Amino acid sequence: MSIRSRRFPRLLVAAAALTALVLAGCGDDASDDAGSEPADVASPRPGGTLTVALQTDPLSVDPRAYTFGAAVYVTRQVVDSLVAQDPADGSLVPWLAESWQVSPDATTFTFHLRDDVTFSDGTPLTAEVVKANFDDLTANQATVNPVIVSQLAGFEAATVTDEHTVEFTFTEHNAAFLQATSEPGLGILAPATLALPVQERTADVVGTGPFVLESYEKDAEVSLGRRDGYAWAPPFRENTGAAYLDQIVFTVVPESAVRSGSLESDQVLAIADVPAQDVAALRDGGYAIVDRPNPGVVYGLLPVSTPRQPLDDVDVRRALSHAIDGTLVRDTVLSPEFAPATGVLSTTTPGYVDLGDEIAFDPDTARELLDGAGWREGADGTRERDGQRLRLVAAFLDDFSANQPALELIAAQLADVGVELELAKQAPADLLAGLENVTTDLLWNSVTRAEGDILRSFSSAPPNYYHYDDPELDALLTEQRGIGDPGRRADLHAEIQRRIIDQALIVPVFEQTAVLATSASVHGLALGANSRLDQLGDVWLSE
């Protein structure tokens, strides 16, 4: 008994010591090694495996299944597209098609294919295969991602005119179709894949891309191998031949702190969706930050304007734009990679127009506009009109870590000019219900697409969740669909952006930005025109 009793405290001491150690460990961050030596810009070295930790599972390797970031990161590696979009200027350049013609009314698109392209199973790429891809899309409309189906609006037929020429005809104008063919969603799949029922394509896809799918294990990892003999990368890539990497392994790590920790402890070489609060520490630790503003509609508050007071008054909407300081939001809750919004669209969107002056931060103008609209300062600082307080409900999803802090800051800025903003974090179903039943005033949102056609999210065509009612704007949005000439179309897009800002159909705040981080040994990793991970043919690893 006596021996046992002496052993006992020792066990307790050990337990206490372990607890103390665990607690001490939380204090300081491990920012030890992670070599900060300058990247040697020597010649690329073939070989190696790039490991990338994603926030969400791609859910499918079929490019027609999903259009969200993680899905595109993966599918882009496996499939090529008819045309490519140059991230430098958003222009469309040859890829699987070496040239094309668009009819002036944007109803006929003719693509002339390269004659040297093969799928990874050896099948050659022909006009017949391209036609089969679009026939398959039409046949499986109900199971293909709705966004991709909507890009084919008015699609009539694909016709093979010779072995390497295919013509698409549409029953309605669809000028945005050309850019849509550059996205993985309309990428070209092998006949072997088309032969499978859609459900079986979730983990089995064959394309012409620089990487070949090896395996997909849901919620765990996607493994891709190099495609030998690849020789048809778009012209803007450094390396138009076979990829340098032997392998890419995408793992799925939902927790952002675990992703950052995995990078810092060399368990992965790259991570996606770096949270703003980790960016500075990673950069100081010698990691490279890869970032690019998402093309499309910037992050901002979308007023549900027409049927609901007080935002049915355009001056109240305009006042909100002047009351919010996007730069302060960026400096306070985001990282330097993010830019304050200067219009409806972000700077990386083709056809972007700088309307920064129209929405400049100017609280005095905001106050004047609100005074003019009859909203007078009340006893507690919040404005009132006919006994009604100027109180707005802003709904948002928990789909981006900075949403809540950004909106809290925005609420404080609006309070400065006498507007009370109530924040409502909602589940997607409640959010849609709130829009349909018009119980919310504002929705916090951004939309990604590298095409001016994204402005159609301001159209009053069904389902019209935001209850827009601007016939003049609708006419412009319809007109831009029918113009085949990119220059004339861009003029129209500029006019649309001015109209949207003039009517204050969005209160722009900052540009949504993709932020990735890589180990210093990773070279050539870049984001595409859609600000998703581009094909990784240029990527190589140094020792």
Partner 1 sequence: MARYVLARLTQAAFVLWAAYTVSFVVLFALPGDPVALMVGPDANVTEEQMAAIRSQYGLDRPLAVQYLAGLAEATRGDLGDSMQARQPVTTAIAESFGPTAKLAGAALVVGTAAGVLLALLAMLAPRPWQRTALLTLPPLGVAVPSFLLGLLLLHLLSFRWQLFPASGDDGWRSLVLPALTMAAPAAGVIAQVLAAGLRQAGREDYMVTARAKGNSRPRAYARHALRNAALPALTMTGLLVGGLLAGSVVVETVFARPGLGRLTTMAVSAQDLALVQGLVLVGAALFVLVNLAVDLLYPLLDPRVATAPRRRAGVRQITAL
- Residues lying near partner 1 in the complex (CB under 8 A) are found at 1, 4-5, 8-9, 11-12, 15, 21-22, 25-26, 30, 53, 57, 59-60, 62, 65, 141-143, 146-147, 149-150, 153, 198-199, 202, 217-221, 251-255, 257-258, 261-262, 264-265, 267, 427-433, 435, 443, 445, 447, 456-457, 459, 461-463, 465-466
C-alpha distance from residue 324 to each of 340, 408, 429 (Å): 11, 12, 28
Identify which of residues 417 and 424 has a Cβ nearer to partner 1 in the complex. Answer: 424
Identify which of residues 36 and 141 has a Cβ nearer to partner 1 in the complex. Answer: 141
Q: Which candidate, 473, 476, 493, places its Cα nearest to that of 485?
A: 493
Please give the structure tokens belonging to residue 236.
Answer: 């803007």
Least distance in Å: CB of 361 to partner 1? 26
Least distance in Å: CB of 351 to partner 1? 17
- Side-chain half-sphere of 164: how many Cα atoms within 13 Å? 14
Least distance in Å: CB of 142 to partner 1? 4
- In whole angstroms, give the CA distance from residue 164 to residue 161: 8
- In whole angstroms, give the CA distance from residue 470 to residue 378: 33
Identify which of residues 257 and 475 has a Cβ nearer to partner 1 in the complex. Answer: 257
Residue ranges in 361-426 assigned as alpha helix (H): 363-372, 403-416
Least distance in Å: CB of 52 to partner 1? 12
Q: Which candidate, 527, 417, 482, 542, places its Cα nearest to that of 69?
A: 527
- In whole angstroms, give the CA distance from residue 121 to residue 194: 13
Question: Tokens 């791609």 label which residue?
Answer: 58
Identify which of residues 413 and 519 has a Cβ nearer to partner 1 in the complex. Answer: 519
Sign of CA dihedral 432, 436, 441, 442: positive
Least distance in Å: CB of 392 to partner 1? 18
- In whole angstroms, give the CA distance from residue 410 to residue 90: 32
Identify which of residues 129 and 180 has a Cβ nearer to partner 1 in the complex. Answer: 180
Identify which of residues 53 and 492 has a Cβ nearer to partner 1 in the complex. Answer: 53
Q: Are the C-beta atoms of 245 and 49 separated by less than 8 Å?
A: yes
C-alpha dihedral (402, 457, 483, 345), degrees to nearest 10: -20
Strands 108-113 and 165-170: antiparallel
Least distance in Å: CB of 365 to partner 1? 30
The 165-170 sheet, strands edge to edge: 97-102, 108-113, 165-170, 155-162
Identify which of residues 253 and 290 has a Cβ nearer to partner 1 in the complex. Answer: 253
Identify which of residues 80 and 451 has a Cβ nearer to partner 1 in the complex. Answer: 451
Least distance in Å: CB of 341 to partner 1? 17
Least distance in Å: CB of 107 to partner 1? 18
Q: Are the C-beta atoms of 181 and 29 separated by less than 8 Å?
A: no
Least distance in Å: CB of 23 to partner 1? 9
Please give the structure tokens belonging to residue 273.
Answer: 């969706």
Identify which of residues 113 and 149 has a Cβ nearer to partner 1 in the complex. Answer: 149
Identify which of residues 94 and 154 has a Cβ nearer to partner 1 in the complex. Answer: 154
- In whole angstroms, give the CA distance from residue 121 to residue 118: 8
Least distance in Å: CB of 279 to partner 1? 18
- Peptide bond before 463: cis, by omega within 30 degrees of 0? yes
Determine how many CB atoms are found less than 10 A away from the CB of residue 242.
17
- In whole angstroms, give the CA distance from residue 262 to residue 253: 9
Q: Are the C-beta atoms of 201 and 164 separated by less than 8 Å?
A: no
Identify which of residues 2 and 43 has a Cβ nearer to partner 1 in the complex. Answer: 2
Least distance in Å: CB of 22 to partner 1? 6
